[in-house]
Chains A and B, each alone.
Chain A
Amino acid sequence: MGPRLKLFLPLLLFVVLAGFLFRGLSLDPRELPSALIDKPFPAFHLASLEDGRELTRESVTGRAALFNVWATWCISCRVEHPYLEQLADEGIPIYGVNYKDNDEAARRWLADLGDPYVLNIVDREGTLGLDLGVYGAPETYLVDAAGVIRYRHVGVIDERVWRSTLEPLWREITAGGES
């Protein structure tokens, strides 16, 4: 390397560093890959919010579905609620995991805002949440017909998230299940 070219070394270093930093601006460090991708949905014995009967893994698996972790104390859950109703109207089965919540408050929420869920699992102590690796509501899991977790989305589901990431996966999973 000639001495003149060497003068450009700091500039080169700067450009590389700036490139990394610029990339970092559009990355969300809070979004963690789930450790449960391609693992079976965890087993559990918890009550149903609707009628109190005991639910297990078997009562909620068997067809492709979304599992939405929500709570009345979770403000973002209220934000995504209307969109979940829209998805339910389109015929997508959504199971609710009512995470560390109060049953009465949860029932009132569903009565007031509408109920997009097939049924709700009461996870008052957060044990199912722990087995799922939940670290904050809302989180949504895409589970296929074999009961295997295929994707986890942390945060609000809206039109953009659904169209860009979840819907393509959903199509893939449901198409695979039928063939």
Chain B
Amino acid sequence: MRLRWILLALFADLWLAGPALAVIETYEFSDPALEERYRALSQELRCPKCQNQNIADSNAPISQDLRRQLYQQLEAGASDAEILEYMVARYGEFVRYRPEFSRATALLWLAPALMLAIGAAVLGVMLHRRRRAVSAPLDDSERQRLAALIDSAEKKS
């Protein structure tokens, strides 16, 4: 019983600590809509230094710089496309979690659909084979053998 409370308290700690760690510095926006776009963009932009984090979650100095840049450009009235273009011009398509579709990223974008298609094809072949195996009727010699087997089983019992 006591253990359960301790565990519960631990989980509550972790849960509360999550959002506290995510916030690094705060910016005052002149318009709530800008703040919303700031949140969306900082989650879509990837930290070039710590590669599996977006710039919203990372406290690397470079992410801090990119967030400041993002804030300044939003306040200056830049569109989302302009900001993304600015970032991509400096850090490459790598900074976007949803990169532009191109020859280099085609495999990345198409892989899930491709996998699904392969899976569907394999499943289709398997189902087709199984149905054919079940529906193939017995020929005469097989039928005779089946009857003989049933006969001998009945005699034994």
B: contact size bracket: 10 to 19
Flag B43-69 by CB within 8 Å of A: 1 or 0 each: 000001101000000000110011001
Asked if B91 is at the interface of the complex by the 8 Å CB criterion, the answer is yes
Flag A25-61 by CB within 8 Å of B: 1 or 0 each: 0000110111110000000000000000000000000
- B156 CB, nearest partner CB in chain A, Å: 34
Tell which of A33, A131, A135 touches B49, judged by Cβ atoms closer than 8 Å: A135
Residue of B nearest to A73 (CB): B61
Known contacts A30-B51, A135-B48, A136-B49; decide if A35 and B90 are in contact (CB<8 Å).
Answer: yes
A36 & B65 in contact (Cβ 8 Å cutoff): no
A30 to B90, CA, bound (A): 16
How many residue pairs link A and B with beta carbons under 8 A? The number is 35
- Name A's interface SS: loop
B88 & A35 in contact (Cβ 8 Å cutoff): yes
Q: Report the count of interface residues on A (CB-CB < 8 A).
A: 17
A136 to B65, CA, bound (A): 12
- Name B's interface SS: helix
Asked if B71 is at the interface of the complex by the 8 Å CB criterion, the answer is no
A71 to B107, CA, bound (A): 39
A135 to B58, CA, bound (A): 13
Residue of B nearest to A129 (CB): B65
B92 & A136 in contact (Cβ 8 Å cutoff): no
- B107 CB, nearest partner CB in chain A, Å: 13
Residue of A nearest to B104 (CB): A33
Taking CB atoms and an 8 Å cut-off, the chain A residues in 95-139 that contact chain B are 100, 126, 129-136
- A101 CB, nearest partner CB in chain B, Å: 12
A133 & B91 in contact (Cβ 8 Å cutoff): yes
Flag B7-40 by CB within 8 Å of A: 1 or 0 each: 0000000000000000000000000000000000
Please, which residues of chain B bring their CB within 8 A of the CB of A35? Answer: 88-92
Please, which residues of chain A bring their CB within 8 A of the CB of B69? Answer: 130
Residue of B nearest to A136 (CB): B49
Please, which residues of chain A bring their CB within 8 A of the CB of B88? Answer: 35
- A157 CB, nearest partner CB in chain B, Å: 19
Please, which residues of chain B bring their CB within 8 A of the CB of A30? Answer: 51
Known contacts A29-B51, A32-B48, A130-B69; decide if A136 and B62 are in contact (CB<8 Å).
Answer: yes
Please, which residues of chain A bring their CB within 8 A of the CB of B90? Answer: 35-36, 130-133
- B40 CB, nearest partner CB in chain A, Å: 21
B92 & A135 in contact (Cβ 8 Å cutoff): no
Please, which residues of chain B bring their CB within 8 A of the CB of A34? Answer: 92
Please, which residues of chain B bring their CB within 8 A of the CB of A129? Answer: 65
> Please, could you name 24 A-B residue pairs with CB atoms under 8 Å apart, sorted by A?
A29-B51, A30-B51, A32-B91, A32-B92, A33-B92, A35-B88, A35-B89, A35-B92, A100-B61, A126-B61, A126-B65, A129-B65, A130-B65, A130-B90, A132-B90, A133-B48, A133-B90, A133-B91, A134-B62, A135-B48, A135-B49, A135-B62, A135-B91, A136-B62
Q: Using a CB–CB distance below 8 Å, which chain A residues touch chain B?
A: 29-30, 32-36, 100, 126, 129-136
